[in-house]
A and B are shown apart, each in its own frame.
Chain A
Amino acid sequence: MSYETINVDINQYYETVENFKKEGYEMMVDLTAVDWYRKREPRFQVVVNLLSVSKNLRVILNVSVPDESLKIPSICEIYPGANFFEREVFDMFGIEFENHPELTRILMPDDWTGNPLRKDYGSGRIPVQFKNAPKVD
């Protein structure tokens, strides 16, 4: 199944999504982000996947998020289903969604520091200290 990929400027992002909804893209299937750490400027790219079930079309919108603010408008009002996905992106990448009804961490614990899916966030090697066990480095 082929689909169209469109690059959208962040200022027109909300209106573009609204227009797609009016054009008959009833469903927001997926929303995620890509971290282009030291590869591209600006660093973060939000990827929105819209599906039209009436016309059987799919479109993918790429939006670059400015590095200074790391803020992007939330599309929860257009597609209520974006709620969890935006919370996941906020949790994993630290991108803020403006006017989101409840922007909290979703997968990680509330008191977690750092955003795990960023490229400069290491993986593994979290020291585990068992109770009273001798310390091993």
Chain B
Amino acid sequence: MDDENNIKEDLDFWATNSEESGWNISSTDEGSQKMLEEEDEKQIKIQTGSDVVDDYVYNEESTDDERMIVNMGPQHPSTHGVLRLQVELEGEVVRRVKPVIGYLHTGMEKTGEELAYFQGPTNTTRMDYLSPLFNELVFSLTTEKLLDIEVPERAKAIRILMTELNRISSHLVALATGGMDIGALSMMIFGFRERELILNFFEKTTGLRMNHNYIRPGGVAADLPDNWQKDVKEILKVIPEKLKDYDEMLLDNPIWQGRLKNVGILTTEECLAYGITGPSLRASGFSWDLRKTQPYSGIENYEFEVPLLSDSDVFSRWRIKVLEIFESLKIVEQVMNTIPKGAYRIQDKKVTPPPRKRLDESMEALIHHFKIYTEGFKVPPGEAYVAVESPRGELGCYIVSDGSSKPYRMHVRGPSFCNLQALPVIMADSPIADAVAAIASLDPVIGDVDR
């Protein structure tokens, strides 16, 4: 007993480098492993890992001994996060798939019920971390619908500008990781390289590269930075050039075509039955884009087309993302040329805090500021559902208000959550090598799946 105490004190001395033993050090014996003086054979076997019991029993009577269940994930590089798939294999052919999710569940809908409306975007922006601005947009639009307010034209234009840039950056990641999964590693480097341009612009505008909290109920957090046109022009110039490079590299590439064409078929009927929206639906030959059919935030004022492909395979789902980037670039260019002057957030004292400068001059402004940031603004009772077209499909937000300054219930309809249900359909009866391509083509973001 004495010996043990001595060892502990010694260890404390070396850990803290002082005679006084800190309470946190002495109370844990982490790192104070003692070597065994005599190690028996069993111990050595356990330590070296050769103590494996062969408990495999060969059953001659079983007929489907060709079938086995393999766990793919949660920590698998090509499952895009912590997605786990239980795959039933017959030889090399996938027979059944069961997606197991929830490894990234952090209870964000519950958190949303405890944050005031002006804090809400901070929470929702972390859901789909590749397209954070869409999450903020849909939350803000729902809140504004409940409040029955209309944001100024400039705020609308800024919102469209930022979200369409976000669509480009999100699609670039989808292309990059999709290429990486197939083995086109240069595609990964290229995609992330071009995305950096957009993220730099986001950093300049919002202060952060992701989780911006930029679009808020009542407008946006700040105006665009000085000379923002220069950065956007750079993006408009560089990205189309680079997309041409991708096409040169991949479009006619026989390996790329061989891996992706006629693989992972998802027809329109299946898409509609499983509620799959976004690029996957459009790649199956069904034209449905919420930007056209149920426009939001003034996107109907800009001219663009909805790309449509009808092969419904992984190749079309890859290709349609490239085409959508071109359309988003068109919108960005139009916004840049036509953005109106004016306020970037609504001039409604109920929702908008006073400008920072006024706080030093006016007592009322200080009280007003204090009220909004402690209590928040009250939202009339009711319920609202608003959907926007996120890079992955219909992103919806359903808020029930009970008249207080916090949502009574905040639910986000994540497109990835729904799209994931198509995985068993896509992957069934296809070789295991195509499974990775199929997952990448759906482009699930696990933050959005688990919320």
Contact = CB atoms under 8 A, between A and B. Distances in A.
Are A and B co-members of a single complex?
A: yes
Interface of A: 1, 3, 5, 26-30, 32, 34-35, 39, 47, 49, 51, 53, 56, 58, 60, 79-81, 83-85, 88, 92, 105-109, 116-117, 123, 131-134
What DSSP secondary structure best describes chain B's contact surface? mixed
A108 B102 contact: yes
A1 B387 contact: yes
B117 interface: no
A123 B102 contact: no
Contact of A108 (B105, B385, B409, B421): B105
Contact of A28 (B275, B409, B420): B275
A119 to B, nearest CB: 8
Contact of A79 (B275, B402, B411): B275
Given A56-B294, A117-B109, A80 B30 contact: no
Contacts of B413: 29-30, 32, 49
B101 interface: yes
A53 B273 contact: no
Q: Which 7 A-B pairs have the closest CB atoms?
A: A81-B275, A1-B294, A107-B102, A81-B274, A30-B413, A107-B105, A26-B272
Interface in B392-431: 394, 396, 398, 400, 402, 408-409, 411, 413, 417-418, 420-421
B379 to A, nearest CB: 16
Contact of A84 (B110, B383, B421): B421
28 contacts: A1-B296, A1-B387, A3-B385, A26-B272, A27-B272, A29-B275, A30-B396, A30-B411, A30-B413, A34-B400, A47-B398, A49-B385, A56-B293, A56-B294, A79-B273, A81-B276, A81-B418, A83-B421, A84-B417, A84-B418, A105-B102, A117-B109, A117-B110, A123-B114, A132-B27, A132-B29, A133-B24, A133-B27
Contacts of B23: 134
A30 B400 contact: no
B421 A80 contact: yes
B111 interface: yes
A12 to B, nearest CB: 21
A29 B421 contact: no
Contacts of B288: 53
Interface in B155-208: none
B424 to A, nearest CB: 10
A115 to B, nearest CB: 11
B107 interface: yes
A9 to B, nearest CB: 19
A106 B449 CA distance: 11
Indicate the size class of the contact surface on chain B: 35 or more
B337 interface: no
Contacts of B420: 84
B110 A29 contact: no
B448 interface: no
Given A30-B413, A107-B450, A132 B398 contact: no
A60 B400 CA distance: 13
A34 B101 contact: no
Contacts of B24: 133
B286 interface: yes
Contacts of A30: 385, 396, 398, 411, 413
A79 B418 CA distance: 12
A113 B451 CA distance: 19
B28 interface: yes
A53 B409 contact: no
B273 A116 contact: no
Interface in B283-320: 286, 288, 293-294, 296
Given A32-B413, A79-B275, A106-B102, 14 more contacts: A1-B296, A1-B386, A1-B387, A27-B275, A34-B408, A53-B293, A79-B273, A81-B275, A81-B418, A84-B417, A106-B101, A107-B105, A123-B114, A132-B28
B388 to A, nearest CB: 10
Given A27-B272, A117-B109, A60 B28 contact: no
Nearest to A26: B272
Contacts of A133: 24, 27-28
A132 B293 CA distance: 59
B421 A81 contact: yes
A122 B101 CA distance: 23
Contacts of B383: 5
A53 B29 contact: no
